[in-house]
Amino acid sequence: MINKVSVHRLVSFKLKFYINNAEVLHLTDKIYVVGHKSPDTDSVTSAITYANLKNALGMKEVVPAAAGDLNNETKFLLDYFKVPYPEKLTDATDKMLILVDHNEMAQAVDKLKMENIVEVVDHHKIGGLATGKPIFFLNEPVGATGGIIANLYEQSKVPISKEMAGLMMAAILSDTVLFKSPTCTPRDKVAVEKLAKIAGIDPMKFGMDLLKAKSDISTKSAKDILTGDFKKFDFSGTKAGVGQIEVMDMADLAPKRAALLDEMKKMQAAEKLNMVVLMLTDVMKEASDILFVGDAAAAQGFEKAFGGKLANNSIYKEKVLSRKKQVIPPLEGAFKK
Ligand code: MG
Ligand code: MG
Ligand code: MG
């Protein structure tokens, strides 16, 4: 039977393994925990909270990083809990990385080599990672990486501070759009309940404040909106970029629609993509207007994926909130050869 002591030993053993690994690789004395490019709240807070856990377990060389500029929601959150912003990491040359909230090279920091990945903690589909040696790889189908990390604190018997609890709670609320997304699981709700108690916060009230911060597009250009939450995918050879903007009222985006389509066209050309998709998600109406720009073959696949005809460069879908569960899988299916 596994008791508390043996769980702790297991964690300590793993810890030693990573330290040894770092020495063998002679790369750097630091290990960065980092999420995906166009970092969202889950990516940034997972880096911070997981580095904090590693530090508490004695791995002082582990530091959090963000693979780009922080969005308004994340800034609001870190300011609220007075947690310092992590350093920005955009080039992984000669660096050892723990990936959180992603596992696809297309979404990772530039110039990352697979052999420099020491761990992965994530909640997305597995997207083609291949390593030369065994690594710690934890992927669970839950609403956010934050909940997985909260469990790791529990398993390691490391007490969760008010600040770390607030960050992990916010990550779950943000990724699950206040539990409305189909990616939300009962475990996410349990985790939020526990973390909210430690943070001393009303989760739903705080969640609305997060959402307001996230959906404030008043100061954002069309380019900011497109690149703020943007991920690249390869659907059987069709190169795609899929962005998402979540707002509390889709009408706020209407005046920017033409400019957004323009930016999407520019992005398609500059990044040599077959298509660029942007989900305009109304979290109150629980629907998305899915904008499309791309070549003819991609348009055909897009229409097949969403079972409709493109009108005015988009297909409107009720009840679609999640890129991961409701947009990427149908696209993948439509382009499968
Ligand atoms: Mg994310
Ligand atoms: Mg996430
Ligand atoms: Mg998201």
| pLDDT tens digits for range 258-311 | 999 999 999 999 999 999 999 999 999 999 999 999 999 999 999 999 999 999
pLDDT at position 215: 86
How far is the centre of ligand 3, averaged over its atoms, from the C-alpha of 181 (Å)? 10
- Distance separating alpha carbons of residues 183 and 203, to the nearest angstrom: 18
What element of type H or E holds 99? strand 96-100
Q: Which listed ligand is nearest to 168 at the C-alpha?
A: 2
Q: Which listed ligand is nearest to 172 at the C-alpha?
A: 2
118 class by beta-carbon count within 10 Å (0-12 exposed, 13-18 middle, 19+ buried) = buried
CATH 3.10.310.20 domain extents, the chain: 222-335
Q: Which listed ligand is nearest to 279 at the C-alpha?
A: 3
Cα 142 to Cα 19, 33, 36, 98: the distances in Å are: 29, 20, 17, 19
How far is the centre of ligand 2, averaged over its atoms, from the C-alpha of 87 (Å)? 19
Cα 141 to Cα 36, 129, 151: the distances in Å are: 17, 17, 14
How far is the centre of ligand 2, averaged over its atoms, from the C-alpha of 103 (Å)? 11
How far is the centre of ligand 1, averaged over its atoms, from the C-alpha of 11 (Å)? 26
Res 29 pLDDT > 80: no
Q: Which listed ligand is nearest to 68 at the C-alpha?
A: 1
Fold of 222-335: Diaminopimelate Epimerase; Chain A, domain 1 (3.10.310)
How far is the centre of ligand 1, averaged over its atoms, from the C-alpha of 144 (Å)? 8
pLDDT at position 219: 85
How far is the centre of ligand 3, averaged over its atoms, from the C-alpha of 40 (Å)? 6
pLDDT at position 46: 98
How far is the centre of ligand 1, averaged over its atoms, from the C-alpha of 314 (Å)? 24
Q: Which listed ligand is nearest to 328 at the C-alpha?
A: 3
Average pLDDT over residues 129-134: 86
Q: Which listed ligand is nearest to 44 at the C-alpha?
A: 1
How far is the centre of ligand 1, averaged over its atoms, from the C-alpha of 19 (Å)? 27
Average pLDDT over residues 85-113: 95
How far is the centre of ligand 3, averaged over its atoms, from the C-alpha of 118 (Å)? 24
Q: Which listed ligand is nearest to 36 at the C-alpha?
A: 1
Longest dimension (CA), the chain: 61
Average pLDDT over residues 101-130: 93
pLDDT at position 7: 44
Residues whose CB is under 5 A from ligand 1 (ion)?
A: 40, 42-43, 101
How far is the centre of ligand 1, averaged over its atoms, from the C-alpha of 24 (Å)? 31
Q: Which two tokens stand for residue 47?
A: 């880096």
Tokens 């990352």 belong to residue: 112
Q: 4-209 belongs to which homologous superfamily? A: inorganic pyrophosphatase (n-terminal core) (3.90.1640.10)
Res 11 pLDDT > 70: no
Predicted TM-score (pTM) above 0.85: no
Q: In what order do the strands lie in the sheet with 238-247?
A: 230-235, 238-247, 275-282, 287-294, 314-318
Residues whose CB is under 5 A from ligand 3 (ion)?
A: 40
Q: Which listed ligand is nearest to 324 at the C-alpha?
A: 3
For 172-197, the pLDDT digits (tens) are: 999 999 999 999 999 999 999 999 99
How far is the centre of ligand 3, averaged over its atoms, from the C-alpha of 272 (Å)? 24
How far is the centre of ligand 1, averaged over its atoms, from the C-alpha of 155 (Å)? 23
